[in-house]
Structure 1
Amino acid sequence: MNIVRTNSENSDFINLVKQLDAYLKITDGDEHAFYNQFNNIDVLKQVVVLYDDTEINSAQVNFPVGCGSIKKFDEISVEVKRMYVSPKNRGTGIAQKILNELEIWAKELGYKKCVLETGKRQIEAVQFYKKCGYKIIPNYGQYTAMENSICFEKEL
């Protein structure tokens, strides 16, 4: 596996986000339009894409299987955004590698904390963030009044 730091113009990132949005459209239901307005990727400058290196007919091929990004939240925090792993690659540690890389990058940029929002209906995501040391916090910003939202933070 190979993880690459890039930005939101990366075509593999764009394609993975399209898959994420299709998934969220189903799980968010009627609330999808509300959440989707906060997910513009053009503002994302720190993006990671994880590739699965596979050999096909003696040639090395890199398949993008997961992604995530961070963006400035406040002076000491970044917000984790657009975390996604393709369904057939879930449960293999890919999400943890992506999140670890994002946390390292945030520290390198001088941030002290990561925050994020996910939906209560994304049960696997909620369990994942708890397993990675994220603590539930009061919903922030645009998510304050959203019953489906659950917000987390982690000190770096």
Structure 2
Amino acid sequence: MEYIIREIQNNSKEIENVKKFLYTQIKNEYGIGPTFKYHYDIENLVKYYILPEKNNFYISLDGNRIIGTGGIRAYDLNFDFFKDQYTKENTASIWRLMVDKNYRRCGIAHKLVSTIEEFAKDSKYSQIYLHTHRYLESGLPFWKSCGYKITLEEDDYDETTHMIKEII
């Protein structure tokens, strides 16, 4: 299969197509529709991923069809248990890594992560944070296969697992 990975363009049509792809994936995986509380970055892709110099958003394309996405941005969460451990200067965070179910197990997610990690290194981050959910069938095994280590498993309704990878 041939596909390409590239940065999202600051183009309203492409941004709308990315939003549609993301919301379709979220509906399929989580069973919910757009919820600003959780999806504020999707509604503001330009603000969160395109304009900041140390942030980026990638799409994978099969022809003109979006088949995967992944974003990286400076760490901007405020979890008390990571206070003073992660900063926006030294830590990037991965967001919105999603691949269309018809294109899974083809290496697209690994290639997106590799592209994101290269961007993080070039942007002088020393580590990458992410969180996933234990109820997602391939979430933890995938991230572990990419070299991410569990830092905390919460006993919350979302079965949240926090992970980190040193990239220096």
Fold shared, TM-score > 0.5 on shorter chain: yes
Distance across 2 between alignment mates of 1:44 and 1:126 = 25
How far the C-alpha of 1:12 sits from its partner, in A, is 3.1
Residue 123 (1) aligns with residue 137 (2): yes
Equivalent runs, 1:1-156 vs 2, <5 Å = 1-6=3-8, 10-26=15-31, 37-40=37-40, 41=42, 42=44, 43-45=47-49, 46-53=56-63, 62-73=64-75, 74=87, 75-138=89-152, 146=156, 148-156=159-167
Contact 1:16 1:84 in 2 (8 A): no
Contact 1:117 1:152 in 2 (8 A): yes
Gap change, CA 1:7 and 1:134, over 3 Å in 2: farther
Bigger relative contact order, structure 1 or 2 (CA pairs below 8 A, ≥6 apart): 1
SS of structure 1 residue aligned to 2:125: coil
How far the C-alpha of 1:19 sits from its partner, in A, is 1.6
Distance across 2 between alignment mates of 1:4 and 1:11 = 16
How far the C-alpha of 1:146 sits from its partner, in A, is 2.6
Contact 1:44 1:70 in 2 (8 A): no
Gap change, CA 1:145 and 1:44, over 3 Å in 2: farther
Distance across 2 between alignment mates of 1:106 and 1:12 = 25
Gap change, CA 1:128 and 1:86, over 3 Å in 2: same
Higher strand share: 1
Counterpart residue number, 2:53 = none
SS of structure 2 residue aligned to 1:121: coil
Distance across 2 between alignment mates of 1:68 and 1:108 = 17
TM-score normalised by the chain length of structure 1: 0.78
Aligned residues: CA RMSD: 2.3
TM-score normalised by the chain length of structure 2: 0.73
How far the C-alpha of 1:145 sits from its partner, in A, is 6.1
Gap change, CA 1:76 and 1:113, over 3 Å in 2: same
Unaligned stretches of 5+ residues in structure 1: 54-61
